[in-house]
Amino acid sequence: MKVAVIGGGINGIMTAWELARRGCGVDLFEKDRLMSATSRASTKMLHGGLRYLEHGHFGLVREALRERSWWLAQAPELTRPLEILLPIHSGQGRPRWQVAAGIGLYDLLATGTGFRKGRWYTGNEVRDRLPMLESHGLRGAYSYWDGQMDDYRLGLWAAGQAATAGVHIHEGSPVRQVEPESGAIALDGGRISFDRVVNVAGPWAGELIAGSAVASRYRLDLVRGSHLLLKGSIACGCILQVPRERRILFVLPYQGDILLGTTEVRQQNPDRPVPEQSEIDYLLATYNRFFADHRTAADIVDTFAGVRPIVASNDDISAASRDSVIERRQRLVNVFGGKWTTSRSLAIAVADITLQ
């Protein structure tokens, strides 16, 4: 079967690889360069998503925890386990019992995945590990373990595996339109027909089908997330509970610097997202609220932003809580949403539906 996969982010790459593994002739079309969009602007975590437990998404967390181990086993040179501390301050953030219950459940769901379990650190132990953390009201910290990756290089590694499995990769090849009935795609050089077309264009997936006058039950809400890379180092990861918000920020050691993120700002257009000054100010102010080594713009080594494609439904509000949705329209398969960590399991599900 001849399949066109549209989108050279991690979800498109993994889908192309999976289809090639199942014997399909696969052409992957990327309008820009591989791994040039959302998939290289992540928080670099291979994680189950501790926060999803608050929303009761236990199945999703369990699946992501399994997938996290798969990535670490496949590419140990581009991934590593990372300990993350969640400090507890008196009278601030979630109550201690709730954090303990959440981390306990996270570890339980991770049973058998080969990761170390979290533990409680006393205030003095936390001060030893994170001496710059504000110690006023600090009661201690719960720790847990997750995976960290070099998202860009890990995605290119996966693309290499896909190419070895036979995927033909076409960079600089924007797909202008798709035709669900015929399986044709329109490129700048003309039309090509396939048995199946898989639209894995991430935040652009909705734009592609709208531009092709293809109806869909789903639409995407686009939410920008920005990060700062700061000079310096930190001994382990740390989660900050943003005061007066339910949001959290990650402060992570990353390739010799400190990675700080992220934000949530609605965005109309997915093209070339950049952090706004207000997001940079918000990130620095939150860091400075918790750490004594106050940071300014002079400490910023780099900034980057990505756009989350959040699945919303035109006719079913409950679908808005789903992490990803796969929709089949004749020869066309649309993929909406999906996390980096679970890109392989999503690809398996996409291949099942594509080959039906």
Ligand X SMILES: Cc1cc2nc3c(=O)[nH]c(=O)nc-3n(C[C@H](O)[C@H](O)[C@H](O)COP(=O)(O)OP(=O)(O)OC[C@H]3O[C@@H](n4cnc5c(N)ncnc54)[C@H](O)[C@@H]3O)c2cc1C
Shortest distance, position 6 Cβ to ligand X, whole Å = 5
Which position among 45, 65, 222, 252 is part of the footprint of ligand X (CB under 6 A)? 45
Q: How far apart are CA 155 and CA 21, in angstroms?
A: 17
147 makes contact with ligand X (CB under 6 A): no
The site string for ligand X over 5-24 (x = CB under 6 A, - otherwise) reads -xxxxxxx------------
Shortest distance, position 199 Cβ to ligand X, whole Å = 8
Which position among 3, 65, 208, 311 is part of the footprint of ligand X (CB under 6 A)? 208
Q: How far apart are CA 176 and CA 52, in angstroms?
A: 36
Shortest distance, position 116 Cβ to ligand X, whole Å = 19
Identify the three-state secondary structure at position 228.
Answer: strand
Q: How far apart are CA 18 and CA 6, in angstroms?
A: 14
Q: How far is CA 257 from CA 16, 46, 105, 139, 235, in A?
A: 33, 19, 31, 27, 11
Q: How far apart are CA 263 and CA 261, in angstroms?
A: 6
DSSP bridge partners of 165:
none
**143 or 324: CB nearest ligand X:** 324
**281 or 293: CB nearest ligand X:** 281
Q: How far apart are CA 301 and CA 13, in angstroms?
A: 29
Select from 44-52, 112-120, 157-165, 295-303 the region that touches ligand X (CB under 6 A): 44-52
Neighbouring C-beta atoms of residue 70, cutoff 10 Å? 15
Select from 18-26, 32-40, 94-102, 108-116 the region that touches ligand X (CB under 6 A): 32-40
Identify the three-state secondary structure at position 322.
Answer: coil
Instruction: Please name the residues in contact with 244: beta carbons below 8 A apart, sequence gap of 6 or more.
Output: none
**57 or 89: CB nearest ligand X:** 57
Select from 38-46, 95-103, 129-137, 347-355 the region that touches ligand X (CB under 6 A): 38-46
Select from 91-99, 234-242, 282-290, 304-312 the region that touches ligand X (CB under 6 A): 304-312
The site string for ligand X over 320-349 (x = CB under 6 A, - otherwise) reads ------------------xxxx--------
Q: How far apart are CA 126 and CA 24, in angstroms?
A: 52
Q: How far apart are CA 46 and CA 335, in angstroms?
A: 21
Q: Output the six-digit token pair for 51.
A: 């926060």
**Residue facing ligand X at closest CB distance:** 9
32 makes contact with ligand X (CB under 6 A): yes
Shortest distance, position 40 Cβ to ligand X, whole Å = 7
311 makes contact with ligand X (CB under 6 A): no
Q: How far apart are CA 188 and CA 191, in angstroms?
A: 8
Q: How far apart are CA 114 and CA 144, in angstroms?
A: 13
**41 or 88: CB nearest ligand X:** 41
Q: By the criterion CB under 6 A, which residues form the site for ligand X?
A: 6-12, 29-32, 36-39, 41-45, 47, 174-175, 200-204, 208, 225, 262, 306-308, 338-341
